[in-house]
Amino acid sequence: MELDNNLLIGIAALPVLAIVCVFLFKRLAVINPEASELLQLRFGKLHHRSTEAGLGGNRIAPWNRWIVVSRQHDERVFHDIETNDSQGTLVKVDLRVTFRIVDSDRALFSVDDWEAALESVTLHEASAELAGKDRALFLRNEPELATELTQSVKRAMAGYGIEVDDVRIANIELRPEVTRQMFETVAAKLEVAKAEYEEKGRTDAAMLLARTEQRVAELEARAKTENLKAVGRAYQELRQQPHIFDAYTDLYRLSQLDPSRVVSFDGFEDGELSTAALVESDLELETLDGAATSSTTNGHANAPA
């Protein structure tokens, strides 16, 4: 029974023992990651350095101090660095610095804080290199600004064991009144360009319309000429057949008559005129002749002597 209890206690103690061992290993073992350099300081002085990844030492001895320095590329962003352009206007820029530590001994022991040194050098070199530059270079963010600044910062940081690969201008900010003035200038230029394009568009449209009308007139004139030629050829062929030409001529003459002003009389039908109708017609004619004669006589009698 006591054996079983001891076995259970031993089994329960194994995980605890494993956790303790792992904890002690992490606390005492020194691991060098990939792309890093491990420095061993003994009594405050550099004793050993290693660039191999893996287990590099232990922290059992109290006089040993271990420092892991990454040799990978890193970057820092510095905001609101002030300088002046060629017109004396204040310009604020944000810089993105890409670098890596190539000499950990210099980076750690030649300066108290290499990050503070990097920031100080970047601010100083940016103020010196960007001062007096043309404003147009800032507005276009010309690559030459970043190139000159990179070379300047790279030379200054080489003595600290830090290799600067690139310094880029991430943002450019001008004074509010200068920004407003620039926007107004750009807006005015856009208005002028808009007016020029609109005027050019109207001129081009008018020219296109005129050319189109000219072309249409030419085509219409050509069509009328060809039509007259075709009609002449048709008449010439029609004259070669006289009976068809005569029939066409008669039809053409009839087509020129106005139906509203033409009275057609084909004669009387059989039995339409009777003796009574003829007598009545003669009496009407005699009555009209008598009325005309009396009117003439009265006219002569009323005339003055």
Give residue limits of the domains in the chain: 2-70, 74-174, 194-253
| Separation between Cα atoms, residue 302 and residue 286, nearest integer Å | 25
Task: Examine the pLDDT at 281 and tell me if it is beyond 80.
Answer: no
Task: Examine the pLDDT at 190 and tell me if it is beyond 80.
Answer: yes
Return mean pLDDT, the chain. Answer: 78
pLDDT score, position 205 = 93
What are the phi and psi torsion angles at 130 (to 5°)?
-90, -15
**Mean pLDDT (whole number) for 54-82:** 78
Separation of CA 153 from chain center: 38
| Separation between Cα atoms, residue 138 and residue 145, nearest integer Å | 8
Select the more confidently predicted residue: 224 or 302: 224
- How far apart, in Å, are the Cα atoms of 231 and each of 206, 224, 240? 37, 10, 15
Copy the structure tokens of residue 102.
Answer: 């190539």
**Architecture of the CATH domain 74-174:** 2-Layer Sandwich (3.30)
Task: Examine the pLDDT at 304 and tell me if it is beyond 50.
Answer: no
**Mean pLDDT (whole number) for 269-289:** 62
